[in-house]
Amino acid sequence: MPLDFRRATDLFVSTEEELAMALGIPVADLRSYRQKPETVPPALLDRMAEVLIERGRGMTRVGEMLRE
């Protein structure tokens, strides 16, 4: 099953407000896109990918620091 916007937002593991702020969209738009992931503009889907990549890098560093 491919990863769609709704599933990607579930992986963000944060509040809707924080995710909306990271994406630069209103919370109402985020909720709408989660209900209808097929309506997400390609540019927003790309931004979601970047947010997840950045978050992953940050979590990698946190894990490394924990091991130090």
Q: What is the mean pLDDT of residues 43-54?
A: 94
3-state SS assignment for residue 18: helix
Tell me what pLDDT residue 13 has: 66
d(CA 28, CA 16) in angstroms, rounded, equals: 9
Q: Provide the pLDDT for residue 1.
A: 60
Question: Average pLDDT, stretch 26-55?
Answer: 95
Q: What is the pLDDT of residues 7-38, one digit of tens each?
A: 777 776 678 999 999 999 999 999 999 999 99
